[in-house]
């Protein structure tokens, strides 16, 4: 039996909310760690900081970039594209309260 489109939309909305909550938790966790490491006190351009985070992520993944869906088409060496402000407002606000 097929689901009605309204039910599918409701499920999508719930999943989007779960995703938003998970991303917030992750951003807050990374933000707290970054603040403990002293990154909140460093004057650095956001794009440079993001590049440094991407390098660290690559290092911890064993030198492999994360899959962003583009690698399946036979493209090799695709760099991970993260959305702007992936660190997000939770990064700075979590440790300042």
Q: Where are the alpha helices (DSSP H) in 1-93?
A: 5-36, 46-60, 89-93
> Does residue 72 lie in a domain region?
no
> Does residue 84 lie in a domain region?
no
- Please say whether the beta carbons of 27 and 87 come within 8 A: yes
Segment 57-71, tens digit of pLDDT: 999 998 665 554 444
- Please say whether the beta carbons of 15 and 75 come within 8 A: no
> Does residue 34 lie in a domain region?
yes
- Give the span between the Cα atoms of 48 and 31, in whole angstroms: 16
> Does residue 49 lie in a domain region?
yes
Segment 23-74, tens digit of pLDDT: 999 999 999 999 999 988 999 899 999 999 999 999 999 866 555 444 444 4
Domain that holds residue 24: 1-63+90-97
Label each residue of 41-60 as H, E or C: HCCCCHHHHHHHHHHHHHHH
> Does residue 1 lie in a domain region?
yes
> Does residue 96 lie in a domain region?
yes
> Does residue 69 lie in a domain region?
no
How many domains are contained in the chain?
A: 1
> Does residue 23 lie in a domain region?
yes
Give the pTM.
Answer: 0.54
């Amino acid at each position: 039996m097929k689901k009605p489109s309204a039910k599918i939309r409701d499920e999508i909305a719930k999943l989007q909310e779960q995703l938003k909550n998970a991303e917030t938790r992750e951003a807050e966790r990374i933000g707290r760690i970054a603040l403990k490491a002293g990154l909140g006190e460093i004057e650095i351009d956001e794009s440079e900081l993001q590049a440094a985070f991407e390098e660290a992520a690559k290092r911890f993944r064993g030198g492999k970039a994360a899959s962003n869906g583009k690698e399946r088409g036979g493209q090799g060496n695709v760099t991970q594209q993260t959305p702007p402000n992936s660190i997000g407002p939770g990064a700075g606000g979590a440790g300042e309260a």
